[in-house]
Structures are given as C-alpha cells and as structure tokens.
Structure 1
Amino acid sequence: MSDKLFIFDTTLRDGEQVPGCQLNTVEKIEVAKALEELGVDIIEAGFPVSSPGDFNSIVELSKAVTWPTICALTRAVENDIDVAAESLKYAKRKRIHTGIGTSWYHIHHKLNSNEDAIVERAVAAVKYAKRYVEDVEFYAEDAGRTDNAYLARVVEAVIKAGATVVNIPDTTGYCLPHQYGEKIKYLMEHVDGVHKAVLSTHCHNDLGMATANTISGVLNGARQVEVTMNGIGERAGNTSLEEVAMILKSHENIGVSTNINTQKIYHTSKMVSSLMNMPIQPNKAVVGRNAFAHSSGIHQDGVIKNRETYEIMDPSDVGINESSILLTARSGRAALKNRLELLGYHLEQEKINKVYEEFLVLADAKKDINDDDILQLVGGNKLEDQRIKLDFLQVLSGKEVSPMATVRLDISGEILSETSSGKGPVDAAISAIKKILQRKVSLHEFLIQAMSGGSDDLGKVHMQVDFEGDIYYGFAVHSDIVTASVEAFLDAINKMKVNRVRKAG
C-alpha cells in the first residue's frame, strides 16, 4: 500500500457552505493560491451547477493555479456533470466528483428509491463523467450510516465503472473512530479491485470526532483525506487540514506522508479566517491563539527549562515564531524574569520581587499582559529618578462642557499646580503643564494606540516634542488615556537638555 496520503481540500466548497462565509471569485483565487503553496493535492473548487457565481469561480480558479487537481462537485445527474465538465475546461488537472446517498435513510426517505436502483444510478453517473475526464471520484453520501455489505457492493460497482477515487463520507459525524476505521478496513478486504482506486475519508465533526475518524480511516487503508482549513464546514464543520497534517508529522511511525509544507499552515489559517469572517476559537488545536500559549506558572517553568516538557509540536513547524508565555495572575516569578530577560532587562532578584508585586496588581486588573505592559512596569521604576513627575491630575470633560484640567507636578521635591482649559482633556492638561514649566514647547507627533482592543485595555501614547529646535520623544502607558498622554509629555520633558523650570507667576 502506498505511504502517500493525498490532501483533498474542500474549504472552497464544503467550507464555504457555512452561512456568512461566502467568498467572491477574487477571494477564492487568493485562497486557492495559498492552498497551492501549502501543498494541497486536490482543491474542490465548488458546485458549479448551483449558481453562475460558483461556475465562474471554478473557471477562473482553474486558470490561476498550476499543479493541484481542480475538482467540481455534482449530483448523480447528467446535467450536473455536463456543467461541471464545462467549468473545468481550463484546469490543467481536472476531476469530477459525483455521487449519491447510500444509507437506508437516504435511499428510502430522501431519494424514495431502492438499493438496486441506487447502484445503477451510481454506475451510470461514473460512466457518464468518464466521458469528460479520466479522474472521477464517487461519493457514497452518508456512508457512515450505510450497511457495510451494501456499501462494499456500491464501491465495487463504481470502481468497475471507472471511478479512480471513492469517497466514504461520515456525512452526519455519527461514527465512532473504531467504527469508521472498521468500515474502511471492511472495504479494503471485501471489495474486488479496491486497489484500482483510492479510498477517501470525508468526516464531519457533529460529535467532535472528525479528525479522530479521519486518522482511523488512514490507519485502515484510506489514502485520501477530505479536509478544510480551520475545520470549517456545515454544522459543526469538517476535519481540519492542519490537525491531520500535524498528527502525521508528530506520529511519523504511522508511516504516511503528505506534500503539506506545515510552516505555511498558520499563514493560510489566518487568511481563511479573515476572508471568511470566521474567527478561530482560541483553544483550536494547532492554529488557535492558545495552541502554543502557557499561562500556568508550573507549565511556564517547565517550558522555560525545556519546551518539550509541555509541547509535542515545535511552533515553528506550523509557521508560528515561538511559544507564548502568557503573563497572568497565575504566572510565577520565573515567567516574569524570563520575559524581562527576553526584553533585555537583567534585574537582581530583589528588583524582580518588587516588579513582580506591581505585576500582580496589574494582572488582577487586566486580563492580558503584554510586552508593553511589562516595559511600563520596568520603566515605572525609572520615574523615581525623573526630576519632573506627575503628582496629581484632574480633568473635566463631556458633552457641552468646556474641557478643564488641573495638574500638579513634583519638580525636584517642589509641588507646583496649574489649571487650564483646552480643546479637549489632553490639550487642557498639557496647557496646564506648559503654564507650570513656562516653556515654549510644541507637539510634532501625538499617537495613541490600544494594546489589544479590549475595553479594559491600556492606552499607549507616543509623542514628539519640539523644544528650541530639538526633538524629544516621550512614551507612556496607562489605563487612563489622559494620564498616559500627560506622562508621555513629561517623559519627553525630562529628556530635554535643560531642565530649568520657573515657577508660574
């Protein structure tokens, strides 16, 4: 049996069936090119008879990609197959994917038919598709709930009719992994001529077992897997491409290889998520925000000492630069020290203890602690050495209220205060400071940024201040944006060559 596993990506067909995930032709081409770079063997580009848009997308996508096989889905209906063949006319490698339901539920309720008639329709569809293309895939819809003996009869018939790939979908996500694996094994052992075609998995995630079922199918002889990026798809979704690729990479003893360049997984995942407006859950395996993140102090200490203590995959293998040591209220001093050293701060233990106490206060108040927060904690200690420090700030602002600010500064131990108005609360506060300092300074640049976008987030302020022709840079972070602006302004003032101030009045 071949150790090559073909990756059949149906992100642009099954994945796009999710409400709100529809893409236009340009976006589909962008995804298809990314899938080509990722190393996908077959791209299922759409269901061409369903709409003019789907048809046109397959035509244009066929022109855009080079080596992957382009596949078009049909029902076991001659007109569907005619339209699919026309949509694939520009594809360098083309496949028609046709099929029909084979479970008791589909035969007797959906199709109002019988077992013999379904076999005849399946064979006729494959033979008709072979008139257009050599590569024909047949799907036995709801194979997961199809009696194995009858399924084997259908599979044998379509292979004799010319099918090169036979898809065994667990359409409803019903099978347990051992049941799905046994189904593939049964077909491998009971279908005459089974080695003339490739058996394919197509597992849905209704009970959270899509990937497990897919791997079970591979272990029992399937050599094509039908997957989507991020596991998107109807209802609870499909098998995740990234999960299958990394399972096989992590378990080399399985002895099955793919063409997937795993280092492009993360980039492709983010692209699909963005274009389809389908956020990735943080704890999603392989590509979720927390997949390589550690917040528990015990885990952090282990990962710092040896990454493999708590990680079975190298994040760089999926295109992520490094693991994340997330600093939270549960983090220990070892994690904080490690982050400080990465940022270039090598502090004595006594200093680390002091910063750690301040860190815990911030961590209790803020959900996510990032590098800018840590830098501010360390930089905050430098405020003790600054000659001019903010001692008090009060602002009045609102609709139909003239902005006013009262600022009190500690200048080398001397307390000076002023109140001023302005166009806004920040302008009012800076005007008050200028009154105290009595200096002609002007702002060249004033940039406010949120750290991560939450309502509890810290505001980061950068300023460029001009004093007597020289530019000074100020930086500050604070949960109150006016306070951050004032402290950034004072940071720039403290860097000026001349620190003489005159008492107002």
Structure 2
Amino acid sequence: MKNVEKYSRGYYMPPVQSLKWTEKEYITEAPTWCSVDLRDGNQALVVPMSLEEKLDYFQMLLEVGFKEIEVGFPAASETEYAFLRALIEQDLIPEDVTVQVLTQSREHIIEKTFEALRGVNKAVVHLYNSTSVAQREQVFKKSEEEIIEIAVKGAKSLKKYAAETEGNFQFQYSPESFTGTEMEFALEVCNRVLDIWQPAADNKVIINLPATVSMSMPHVYASQIEFMSDHLNYRDNVILSVHPHNDRGTGVADAELAMLAGAQRVEGTLFGNGERTGNVDIVTLAINMYSHGVDPQLHFENIREIISKYEELTRMRVHERHPYGGELVFTAFSGSHQDAIAKGMKWREDGECQYWTVPYLLIDPKDIGREYEGDIIRINSQSGKGGIGYILEQHYGLDLPAKMRENFGYQVKNVSDRLHKELMPTEIYDIFMREYVNIHTPAEFIQYRYMQNDQYETVVAIRMDGEIHEFTGTGNGRLDAISNVLQTELAIQYKDLVYKEHALEIGSRSNAVSYVGITAMDGTVHWGCGIDADIMTSSVKALFSAVNKMITSTQRAFDKEAHLTKK
C-alpha cells in the first residue's frame, strides 16, 4: 500500500510501566454492563428507531438482563426527550434498573437534560468533553487548561441541577477521545472532575475511559486503563468504566484486557452496532466469559429470538459468521470437522463429562438456544462421511457401518457438487433410500422358507425378467444359505460379506434395518440396506440390494468398455 509514511501512532503510552494485568489468566466475574444501544447504536442507524421501536428495544434489553441502559441524549432531539419522559411517566423502568443519559459539558444542554429527568427513580448523568490532542488543536483550538475548564464547569453544573431536580442521580464523566490523549493530561482532567464531585462509598462516581477511536493494539489500551486505575483519586469510590469502539476490529479484545487491567464496567451494544465499525459487542464479551465458566449475568439462552427482534427494530443484519449469534458459526461443512464433532458428541453420550470439550465447538450450542440438528453439521460438496453419517443417525436413526458411510459420503458429495448447493437432511435421506435401500432390480427378492437341520436349507423365490424362480441352497445360517443361492444359481461371484443390523424407529412403525457389504472379485465393495418389520427379511433385502448394485455396476462397466471398443 502507498502513502504509509502519512500515518503515525497517535496514541500515548503511560509514563510508567503498567503491566500487572498481564499476570491474570482470565476474567473472574462479570462487570457492570451498560447497554448503549439506544444512544450509540440508534444514532448509527440509517433510519433511527421511532419512539415505539425504542420502547420495544428497551423492553428487550430488560429481558436480556441489563441493569444499566443509556436511553439517549434527551437535549439533542424531541424524540429522545419524549422517549425518556415516556419511560418515567409510564413507570416503565424497573426499580433495580438505572437509566443513563448523555450530555455535553454545556450548561443549557445540562439544564435541558435534568428537565427531562424529573421524577426518575435513578439515573446516571453522563458528562463528556473531548480531550485528545487532535480535538484540542483542530476542533476546539483550546489549551489544556481551557479543556479542563470545560470539564470543571460541566461538573459543577451537574451538581447544581441535580440538587434542584426531583430524582436520584449518579454522575459519570468521560474524557472523550481518551485514546488520543496524553495519559497525564487525561488523569488530570478526571481528577479535577472528581475533586468537584467528591465521590463517597454511598455516592460513587463513574469514570468512563472510551476508546472513542480505537488507535492502538489492545495491550496498549490495557496499560492505559491500568495506569488510570492506579492513579485516580478516590479510587475506592470510583467505578472505572470502558467504552471501546471497534475501528481496528479489536473492540472485544480491548474490553477484555481492560477488565484485566481494572475496568469494572463496560459500555457496549448488542452485536456491536454503532458508529463506523461499531461499539464493542456485549453478546460476544458475555458469552466469551460463559465459555470460561463465568456467569456473565446476562441472558442469551434464546439468542435467535433476540436476533430476530434486533434485526426487526434496527433494520440491521447479524452476519452469518458473527460470533455466537451468526447463523453459520456452529456449522461445520468440512469433512474432518464434521467427523470430529460427531465423534465428540458420541463420546459425551457414552460417558459422564463434567466439562464441555467437543472439538470445534467452543460452547454447547443448546445453551444459547441453538439446535444440533440443522445447526452443527450441514452438508455440501466439502463434507465428509462422518458428518453425512451423523445426519442420517440423528434425523433418521440410521447407523451405517463405517465403510458404508464412506461409500455413501462420496455419493452425497457428488450430488452436492453437481447441483452446486447445500443438501438438506431430507435430500440426504432420499439419496440413501434411492441408492441403497430395498433395491429390487434386476433380481427381486420375493420370499423365502427354510428348514433347520445340520445346515440351514433355504428355498428363496426371485423374480427376474418378469418371471419368478425358486432356488434351494444351504449354508451355516439363513443369510449364508441365500447368499450361496445367489452365487451358485445366478453365477454371481463375491466375497467378504459384511453384515450389521439394528432396530429402527421411523414414525409409528417399529422396523429393523440391516446393512450388507460384499466385495466383487475385482476388489470393489458394494453396499445395500434392507428395511422391514422382520429382522431376517431386512437382512435378505440388504443382501439383494448389495448384489443388485454390484450387477448394475458390472453391467455399466461392461457397456462402457464395449462402447470404447466400438469407437
């Protein structure tokens, strides 16, 4: 890429080393979550939500379990003002839920904000002003002291109007564009605000450190957060919050490392909606914690319903590969992946497993409302025998022998490749029934009867070319006797007969299913399946199916050779 020299690293490392967070292995408890879907998320929509849609979205956030919800910037528009008033006047805010509102550090905006908050049970009033070098120099053209004064005036105004307004209020301050601010200056601004608010154990203040623009690798952000956590005044009475954006695609990593570094609270959105590349995705963050055995204190057990509501109200789409929520994230098309998943699921069924360790599946899809059937293993031309066999077993109770799975797998993949499409379970089942089950041409099994003596003597009726013939054979069992009939009377040669059977339940009929594999004299293996209410009859039908497939294959090969010779 050209013009790389025009870019520099616009972030600032802490003046002292801040690396204690590197000694921690994982996050041990859920942070306080604050949804900013109705502010950051809503302002990023092509068509912002209406009042009614915002009320619906607010209800969904309550059902997910959020206890802090930023509901908007009430001084910015009539819709946001009306939305907050509707929540308060219609008593729609549960007692254990705190709403949050945003305000710039300008007195008339602060005044309008508190006007909208009259009578609220509990609210966080979120004050911000920008502190970065770029904003100071290019946008505001103000000195450091002038930027501090903006924050200080705003902090004083919050105290003033909170004292004059009916309601319960908690204060929050954000040095906006924190990641582009010198750490010493960011610390000074925050401490000056804290000095005004005088946080106490029963009146804690939130200091929010946003990656308004993600500018560094996540470990730098973590070091910045740790520096601030170590040096903020009144630290025991300060709730340290982060608000990562996703410009570099590292929003989740930024938030996770920030929590290791001392952040106690995270602001974000469902599925990462927000300006530019979005806010940090709280769904991913929460379920990441869940995958480590830590309760995130949010409810995503019905993630499909949440996605449906989210897409309806935002007119946005959750991408198929979005972590946890995407339609395809638990789906394996690859043959080796499918085989490992199928064996892992079988391993769990056969033993008592304390922990979830299925290959390729970070969490159990059922824990978030996803189903094994149709979600995990789906079939296309890249799929393998394990996945295809898994589909037949899970959906239809057909437990094919391993070698037969391989044989059938090639047939299914060839169909998918030829049609250039994914195959549904019903289509896979139809292929199996058509190609393997109860094949009756060119030799159709009609019936058999046997007499047990030193050897099983069996009479079998076969229809060929429209005529029924009866043949008698002997063997060390009924199936062996019929096999001998086919080889001697019909002059069909094969060896190494493989047999498997099991009970089969399809609908209300209890059936038996048998599988037979035979090896032709040229070494090719042919498989057949028989299904019948009688287990012995199903085994005979399986044998006839395998023999018929061998006869047909041999005839095709003969016809092809004759055609080539003629040419």
Calculate the TM-score normalised by the size of structure 2.
0.63
| Residues 156 and 194, structure 1, Cα contact 8 Å, conserved in 2 | no
In the aligned structure 2, how far is the partner of 1:278 from the partner of 1:139?
A: 28
**Secondary structure at 1:222 match in 2:** coil
**Secondary structure at 1:280 match in 2:** coil
2:42 to 2, 12, 16: 16
Q: One-letter code of the match for 1:180?
A: Y
1:359 corresponds to: 412
1:324 corresponds to: 376
Matched, 1:340 2:340: no
Shift of the alpha carbon at 1:375?
A: 3.8
1:143 to 178, 189, 196: 178
| Residues 38 and 265, structure 1, Cα contact 8 Å, conserved in 2 | no
Note closer, same or farther for the CA distance 1:156–1:258 as it changes in structure 2 (3 Å cut). Answer: farther
Shift of the alpha carbon at 1:353?
A: 5.9
Q: One-letter code of the match for 2:415?
A: L
For residues 238-277 of structure 1, the aligned pairs below 5 Å read 238-252=279-293, 258-277=296-315
1:193 to 234, 240, 250: 234
Of 262-271 and 225-234, more deviation after overlay is shown by 262-271
1:105 corresponds to: 134
Note closer, same or farther for the CA distance 1:316–1:383 as it changes in structure 2 (3 Å cut). Answer: closer
Structure 2 unmatched ranges of 5 or more: 1-26, 163-167, 200-204, 346-357, 441-464, 467-567
1:302 to 340, 357, 361: 340
Matched, 1:39 2:65: yes
**Secondary structure at 2:214 match in 1:** coil
Note closer, same or farther for the CA distance 1:2–1:347 as it changes in structure 2 (3 Å cut). Answer: closer
| Residues 300 and 325, structure 1, Cα contact 8 Å, conserved in 2 | yes
Note closer, same or farther for the CA distance 1:305–1:29 as it changes in structure 2 (3 Å cut). Answer: same
2:327 corresponds to: 289
Shift of the alpha carbon at 1:273?
A: 2.3
1:440 corresponds to: none
Matched, 1:125 2:154: yes
Shift of the alpha carbon at 1:207?
A: 0.7
For each residue in 1:24-66, what CA deviation from the matched residue of structure 2 results, as whole angstroms up to 9, or x when unmatched? 1221111111111111121111111221112112222443231
For each residue in 1:119-175, what CA deviation from the matched residue of structure 2 results, as whole angstroms up to 9, or x when unmatched? 222122123223325301111100011111111111112222227111101111112
For each residue in 1:452-497, what CA deviation from the matched residue of structure 2 results, as whole angstroms up to 9, or x when unmatched? xxxxxxxxxxxxxxxxxxxxxxxxxxxxxxxxxxxxxxxxxxxxxx
Aligned residue pairs total 387
1:214 corresponds to: 255
| Residues 290 and 296, structure 2, Cα contact 8 Å, conserved in 1 | no
Note closer, same or farther for the CA distance 1:347–1:177 as it changes in structure 2 (3 Å cut). Answer: closer
**Secondary structure at 2:169 match in 1:** coil
Note closer, same or farther for the CA distance 1:158–1:77 as it changes in structure 2 (3 Å cut). Answer: same
Shift of the alpha carbon at 1:198?
A: 0.8
2:190 corresponds to: 155
| Residues 245 and 277, structure 2, Cα contact 8 Å, conserved in 1 | yes
2:105 to 76, 90, 96: 76
Structure 1 unmatched ranges of 5 or more: 387-412, 415-505
**Secondary structure at 2:75 match in 1:** helix
**Secondary structure at 2:99 match in 1:** strand
In the aligned structure 2, how far is the partner of 1:152 from the partner of 1:264?
A: 42
**Secondary structure at 2:121 match in 1:** coil
RMSD: 2.8
For each residue in 1:219-240, what CA deviation from the matched residue of structure 2 results, as whole angstroms up to 9, or x when unmatched? 0111110110011100011100
2:93 corresponds to: 65
In the aligned structure 1, how far is the partner of 2:395 from the partner of 2:36?
A: 42
Of 280-289 and 80-89, more deviation after overlay is shown by 80-89
In the aligned structure 2, how far is the partner of 1:276 from the partner of 1:363?
A: 36
1:408 corresponds to: none
| Residues 386 and 405, structure 2, Cα contact 8 Å, conserved in 1 | no
In the aligned structure 1, how far is the partner of 2:305 from the partner of 2:100?
A: 24
In the aligned structure 1, how far is the partner of 2:101 from the partner of 2:359?
A: 45
In the aligned structure 2, how far is the partner of 1:262 from the partner of 1:348?
A: 36
Note closer, same or farther for the CA distance 1:78–1:317 as it changes in structure 2 (3 Å cut). Answer: farther
**Secondary structure at 1:97 match in 2:** strand
Shift of the alpha carbon at 1:276?
A: 1.1
1:418 corresponds to: none
For each residue in 1:60-113, what CA deviation from the matched residue of structure 2 results, as whole angstroms up to 9, or x when unmatched? 244323132111111111222222223333543211111100111112221221
Identity rate, percent: 24
1:374 to 422, 428, 438: 428
Q: One-letter code of the match for 1:285?
A: P
| Residues 255 and 280, structure 2, Cα contact 8 Å, conserved in 1 | yes
